[in-house]
A and B are shown apart, each in its own frame.
Chain A
Amino acid sequence: QSALTQPASVSGSPGQSITISCTGTSSDIGTNDLISWYQHHPGKAPKLMIFKVTNRPSGVSFRFSGSKSGNMASLTISGLQAEDEADYYCCSCAGESTWVFGGGTRVTVL
């Protein structure tokens, strides 16, 4: 199973909104809602930011939101802050099939 496709980098100024796309196929993103997003600051443990496409775990800022349309999922960060600068990964982590991550997106706050 091929990795999901994410842009290598996205940048924005503080206060702006950015969206990270995650493109898969009808075999993964298109047919399951177990899409999750992870924030990873290098050298630290990754952190779950969004689960089941749109849900935020307790403690995750409301500035993070997820959506899905067809074979593409998206993560939007609104009101961009310096602490949001990190790598972000989508994952189709579902059920009995093999699970797969996106290639990762480096978010830079200008």
Chain B
Amino acid sequence: VQLVESGGGLVKPGGSLRLSCAASGFKFTDAWMSWVRQAPGKGLEWVGRIYSKGSGETTEYTASVKGRFSISRDDSRNMIYLQMNSLNAEDTAVYFCTWVGSTMALDYWGQGSLVTVSS
């Protein structure tokens, strides 16, 4: 199993950024996927999740990002995306892509992608 995030970088407050996660090594079309972040010096924070198409492709988000962030998937490319809008300094973090496996937990994690929101 491999999860590789990309798209992180420096963005100004109020700006937008899209993270990508390339998945391999498991049946992606059946996969529930999630994003987790870790701000500098802080703990892990769940950001949001997307179910498989077969489970309705529904999404859910933590309150602090609802309405600003959205998760989508492209099963033809084995990719998920995290679109982040109206970014602020509190969104500065390493963002991890995770796979919800048969354990119904976050079985595998990517190495993370750093997003820095600063003027």
Contact = CB atoms under 8 A, between A and B. Distances in A.
Contacts, number: 75
A40 B44 contact: yes
Contact of A101 (B44, B49, B60, B108): B44
Contact of B45 (A38, A93, A96, A101): A101
A48 B111 contact: no
Interface stretch (B23-31, B79-87, B96-104): B96-104
A57 B107 contact: yes
Contacts of B108: 48
Nearest to B103: A51
Contacts of B110: 45
Interface string B70-82: 0000000000000
Chain B, interface size category, equals: 20 to 34
A1 interface: yes
Nearest to B66: A98
A44 B60 CA distance: 26
A30 interface: no
Chain A, interface size category, equals: 20 to 34
A103 interface: yes
B43 interface: yes
27 contacts: A1-B63, A3-B43, A45-B96, A45-B110, A45-B111, A46-B36, A46-B44, A48-B107, A48-B108, A52-B103, A55-B103, A57-B103, A89-B44, A91-B105, A93-B104, A94-B104, A96-B60, A97-B60, A98-B46, A98-B60, A98-B61, A99-B34, A99-B49, A99-B60, A100-B62, A101-B36, A101-B46
Interface of B: 34, 36, 43-46, 49, 60-63, 96, 100, 103-112
Closest 6 CB pairs of A and B: A104-B43, A36-B105, A51-B105, A51-B103, A45-B109, A99-B46
